[in-house]
Structures are given as C-alpha cells and as structure tokens.
C-alpha cells in the first residue's frame, strides 16, 4: 500500500543518492585535476560532464515520476471501473497491470457472489421465521382455549383441575419462549430495524413497569422510581421498553417476598444511565460475566422459572442502539443491572 510516508521515504532516499553521486563526481574531478595538473580545458570539460550527468539524472527522475503517476492514475481508474462494473481498461495483454486487473475483477465478482448468497440465505431465514411464527400461534392458541373450556366443566376432580392449570401454564410459557426466540431471530437477521430518536426515558420506564406491578404486588415487592424528568436518550421506545421490562422482570422474579426494587435514571454528556437495583438472591461474582449469554442460568436460579433468554435479548436490543448493560451483584445482597443509552 502506497502511503504519504512511503513517498516521503522515497524522496529522502533519492536526495541521499543524489548527494552521494554529486560528491563522488566532484571528488573524481578534483582527483583528476590534482594528478594531471590544473588545466582550464580539463576543468571546463569536467564541468560540462558534471552538468550533463546531473541533467540526465534529473530528466530520468522526471520521466520516472511521470511513469509512476501515470501508473497510479491508470490503477485508480481500473479499480473504479472494476467496482462499478464498467468495461475493462486493459485488453488482456501480457502485462502485470492486466494481470492485476484480472485478479481484481475476480475478487470483486467473488465478493458479489458471496453477497448474493448471503442475501438469499437471509431471505430464506426470514421466510422460515415467518412460517414458524405463523404455524405455532394457532396450535398454541387452540391448546390454551381448549384447556380453559375444559376447566369450566363442572364436577372436575381437584387432580384434573391441577393438571389443566399445568397445561395452561406450560402452554403460556411455550408461547412466550417461541415469541422471544422469534423476536431475537428477527433482530439478529436484520428483519427488524429499530427507530431510534432522542426522547425522554420516563415514558419508556413507565411502559416497562406497567405489566409488572401486579406481579410485584403478589410478592409484596415495593418498586420505587427516581428518574430525572429531563433525562433523555436516543432510543427506540418500544424495544427499549421491552429490554427494560426484561431487567425488571428478572428483579421481580429473584426478589423474595417483601423485598424492594429501585429504578434510577440520570443523564450525562454521553450516556443516560438507567439502573435496576433489587434486594434479591444476588449473583455469584464468577457468574456475572455469563448472565448475558443465551440460555444461561445461574446455579442458584434452578428453583425459579425461566429459560435464560431475557437478559440476552435485552443486551442485544441495547447494543444494536449503541448502548451497553453492566451488572454488579453479591449473593444474598441483591443485584444492580445498569443500562447505558447514548445521548446522540
């Protein structure tokens, strides 16, 4: 790759060689004059020879620079033609330039073929995800409906009602899992484009909590919000709300009866920080680096429901928007999950 430092180095090298050549020529002329004695004719001839040699060198250097400049211009035009799919600049002659152009065209054609192959695979994945989404909704809805209808039948034994409740609970869990996996697949394959804009985060936090107050109330968990009303960030309202919902849902799930959850939000020059702190069971230090992995569940979370995809999905949503999530925790002392959203 030709850079400005290479050009400066070549010029410096040429100047050094020119100076050495000039010194050698002057030394040779002085030596001849010293050995043969001073002669005005010899001195004149030496000066003419010196001027002729220097002129020839300068002319050669000028021609060489023109050749290099012409070669670079040709190479630049050749690359531009190859990128835009224009006709070849060289005519398949046996020159290095023609060989280089041929290799460049092959490389670009291979790149375009790979792009087309990836685009075809991406479209196929999109169709597959759409088919899975469509084909699973109807059976799951039917299972839930039938289980509810059977549960309304009078004179059912307690064991039967318990089994129906299990069917309904597992069906809802399966529906949530499929929905989450489909959302995640759409995000990863670029089927969903997040519409980020600068807006206050208060409404986003309120939306995330709207479906969790009942669950928290059932466990007598107190949720407090300390949010700067002027705090804003560049984010997609719907998807960021879902990411925050996953963080708070985890806090509710792993916080014991009578615990508390505190949500704070404040902005600085670069990021807006939204923190979810709970008084739950906590996370061992050795597991903190793994909690955002797909399907990962901690060793102390076995007795709680979950599949380990909520935090992974939340991190994916935030990272796509240019933000990130951190975690801090100690077993038995609760956890702090902090979401950072960009200001611009």
Give SS3 for 196. coil
What pLDDT, on a 0 to 100 scale, did the predictor assign at position 9?
57
Looking at the chain, the domain(s) classified CATH 1.10.287 span 115-188
Beta strands 260-267 and 271-278, pairing class: antiparallel
DSSP string of 242-278, one letter each residue: HHHHHHHHHHHHTSPTT-EEEEEEEE-SSEEEEEEEE
What pLDDT, on a 0 to 100 scale, did the predictor assign at position 245?
92
What pLDDT, on a 0 to 100 scale, did the predictor assign at position 93?
57
**Contact present, 236 and 201 (Cβ < 8 Å):** no
- With DSSP H G I counted as helix, E B as strand and the rest as coil, what are the percentages for the chain, rounded to 5? 65, 15, 25
Q: How far is CA 140 from CA 83, 162, 174, 209, in A?
A: 50, 19, 8, 27
Looking at the chain, the domain(s) classified CATH 3.30.565.10 span 197-342
Chain-centroid distance of CA 322 in Å reads 8
What pLDDT, on a 0 to 100 scale, did the predictor assign at position 3?
47
**Contact present, 309 and 294 (Cβ < 8 Å):** yes
What pLDDT, on a 0 to 100 scale, did the predictor assign at position 6?
55
Low-confidence spans in the chain with pLDDT less than 50: 1-3
Q: What angle do CA 136, 139, 144 make, to 5 degrees?
A: 120
Query: Does domain 115-188 sit in CATH 1.10.287?
Result: yes
What pLDDT, on a 0 to 100 scale, did the predictor assign at position 341?
94
Label residue 203 exposed, middle or buried (CB < 10 Å: 0-12, 13-18, 19+). exposed
Interval 105-155: pLDDT, tens: 778 778 878 888 877 777 776 677 667 766 777 787 888 888 888 888 888
d(CA 128, CA 120): 12
What pLDDT, on a 0 to 100 scale, did the predictor assign at position 328?
92
d(CA 290, CA 180): 19
User: HSE (CB half, 13 Å, CA atoms) of 57?
Assistant: 14
Q: What is the CATH number of domain 197-342?
A: 3.30.565.10
pTM listed for this prediction: 0.59
């Amino acid at each position: 790759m030709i850079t400005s430092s290479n050009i400066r180095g070549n010029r410096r090298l040429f100047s050094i060689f020119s100076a050495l050549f000039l010194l050698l020529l002057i030394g040779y002329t002085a030596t001849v004059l010293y050995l043969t004695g001073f002669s005005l004719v010899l001195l004149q001839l030496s000066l003419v020879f010196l001027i002729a040699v220097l002129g020839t060198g300068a002319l050669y250097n000028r021609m060489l620079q023109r050749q290099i400049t012409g070669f670079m211009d040709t190479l630049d035009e050749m690359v531009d033609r190859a990128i835009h799919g224009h006709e070849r600049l060289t005519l398949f002659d046996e020159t290095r330039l023609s060989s280089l152009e041929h290799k460049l065209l092959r490389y670009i054609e291979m790149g375009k073929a790979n792009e087309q192959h990836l685009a075809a695979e991406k479209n196929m994945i999109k169709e597959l995800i759409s088919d899975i989404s469509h084909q699973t909704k109807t059976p799951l809805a039917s299972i839930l409906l039938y289980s509810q209808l059977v549960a309304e039948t009078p004179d059912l034994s307690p064991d039967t009602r318990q089994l129906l409740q299990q069917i309904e609970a597992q069906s809802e869990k399966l529906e949530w899992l499929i929905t989450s996996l489909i959302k995640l697949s759409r995000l990863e394959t670029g089927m969903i484009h997040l519409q980020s804009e600068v807006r206050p985060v208060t409404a986003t936090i309120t939306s995330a909590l709207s479906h969790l107050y009942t669950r928290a109330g059932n466990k007598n968990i107190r949720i407090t919000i300390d949010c700067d009303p002027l705090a804003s960030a560049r984010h997609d309202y719907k998807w960021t709300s879902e990411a925050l919902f996953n963080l708070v849902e985890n806090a509710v799930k792993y916080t014991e009866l009578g615990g508390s959850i505190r949500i704070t939000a404040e902005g600085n020059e670069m990021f807006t920080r939204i923190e979810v702190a709970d008084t739950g069971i906590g996370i061992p230090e050795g597991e903190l680096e793994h909690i955002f992995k797909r399907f990962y569940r901690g060793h102390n979370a076995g007795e709680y429901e979950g599949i380990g995809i909520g935090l992974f999905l939340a991190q994916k949503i935030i990272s796509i928007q240019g933000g990130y999530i951190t975690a801090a925790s100690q077993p038995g002392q609760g956890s702090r999950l902090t979401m950072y959203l960009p200001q611009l």
